[in-house]
Amino acid sequence: MTRPALPPVTPVAMATLVARRVPALLALAAAVACTNPEPAPTVALADVTSPAGERSAEPFLYVDGADRVHMTWLERTGDSTHAVRYARLDGSTWTTPATITERKDLFVNWADFPSVIAAPSGRLIAHWLQRSGSGKYAYDVRIAQSTDSGATWSEGTLLHRDTKGTSEHGFVAMWLGASDSVHAAWLDGRDMAGEHGKTRGAMSVRHTSLGAAGTPGEETPLDLRTCECCQVNAAMGKAGPIVVYRDRSEGEIRDIAVVRMVNGRWTEPAIVHHDNWHVEGCPVNGPAIAARGDTAVVAWFTGAQDTARVRVAWSFDGGATFAAPVRIDGGSPVGRERRRGQACRRRAEPRPPGGTTPRRRVAAPRAPWLGRRPPLSAAHRRR
């Protein structure tokens, strides 16, 4: 598989960038033009000093059930060494950053980076990407657990059962399940690393659960042909988890698909909406999902019919079916924002003379979103 060249983390002052993510979570609540008839809440914004060092990048934020903010980021600690750091926002103060792992063989890139999740018991699970072989895109997903509020972390463990060291794995989505369990779904390229005399396969989406010790359980393939580098996302509905991702048909149609767990079994993949986006390469732009009870909402970007759009589709039966999507951008969608507690979609577009940047908010349960399709390089098109 050929992937576009990914720029390394540059040694610039990223602390300000990371700090901006925290107020951004609150700023979305004040976005105008909301479809919810209720007035937007009044929000007071305050600057929060970032715990990240100046040679840091790729921040990830997670808000737990008690509204505590957890953050992971990558920090360059040497010419070829990076560390995965963790800190938690207690009130208005960050805890002292802890090192989850520090290595020379981390796979560092702009599109796919470490994350963390907090279980109700207080245990934390983090993931990162680590090279596994000499191939340019031979890397694994490693996970570690902390049971002391992030002060110390276990050794890295493989999330997946593919141990060949020749494949790529990543774009992990983690979510909370029953009985303090944590679940994960990810893109798995084990079938793409074609061996001599064998046909090169496709990227797949797979699932596993992480028990109390943080070790992976049985592994289940959810879809054996998917887009190669679009983020997977997941949410818990009333009946169980709902996983969304970008599908890939034999004819190179790359629309958003959904699988659900019903009565302990995963459903067959279904398309959320047939955009019929034909694209000869991965757009590096995945869907987002929010769920509460039987209501679920999915947001995604599409470039079908050569028109850039951000769409939202609602389900009122736990993701089994979706209504016709609503377009929520006005013509040139860009941006990437997250907010816990509502399905907020913020899009920025060309500003008219003397005007302000238009925004739109769609009220719903918890979700992030992705906005802009990057240009397809020759490397993208060779997938």
Helix (H, G, I), strand (E, B) or coil at 306: helix
- CA dist 20 to 45, 111, 149, 195, Å? 11, 19, 24, 46
CA distance 74 to 52: 9
Kindly report the length of the chain: 383
| Residue 113, CA atoms < 13 Å, CB-side half-sphere | 23
Give Cα 156 distance to the centre of its chain.
20
- Asked whether residue 332 carries a pLDDT value surpassing 60, the answer given is yes
Q: What percent of the chain has pLDDT over 70?
A: 75
Name which of 182, 168, 181, 177 is nearest 226 in CA terms.
168
Give Cα 360 distance to the centre of its chain.
22
CA distance 153 to 140: 18
Q: Report the range of poorest mean pLDDT among 19-23, 34-38, 157-161, 354-358.
A: 19-23
Q: Are 135 and 166 in contact (CB under 8 A)?
A: yes
Q: By CB neighbour count within 10 A (0-12 exposed, 13-18 middle, 19+ buried), where does 232 fall?
A: buried
pLDDT of residue 378: 33
Q: Which residue has the tokens 């010419």?
A: 79
**What are 164-218's pLDDT values in tens digits?**
999 999 999 999 998 899 999 999 999 997 554 455 789 999 999 998 888 999 9
**What are 61-86's pLDDT values in tens digits?**
999 999 999 999 999 999 999 999 99
pLDDT of residue 265: 97
Q: Are 214 and 147 in contact (CB under 8 A)?
A: no
pLDDT of residue 362: 44
Average pLDDT, the chain: 81
Q: Are 60 and 52 in contact (CB under 8 A)?
A: no
- Asked whether residue 375 carries a pLDDT value surpassing 60, the answer given is no
pTM here?
0.79
Q: Which residue has the tokens 């990407």?
A: 129
Name which of 211, 201, 197 is nearest 154 in CA terms.
211
DSSP code for 294: T
Name which of 118, 110, 174, 119 is nearest 141 in CA terms.
174
Between 361 and 42, name the one with better pLDDT: 42
Between 274 and 178, name the one with better pLDDT: 274
Name which of 164, 192, 198, 346 is nearest 282 in CA terms.
192
- Asked whether residue 342 carries a pLDDT value surpassing 70, the answer given is no
In the numeric block, which tokens belong to residue 15?
């602390």
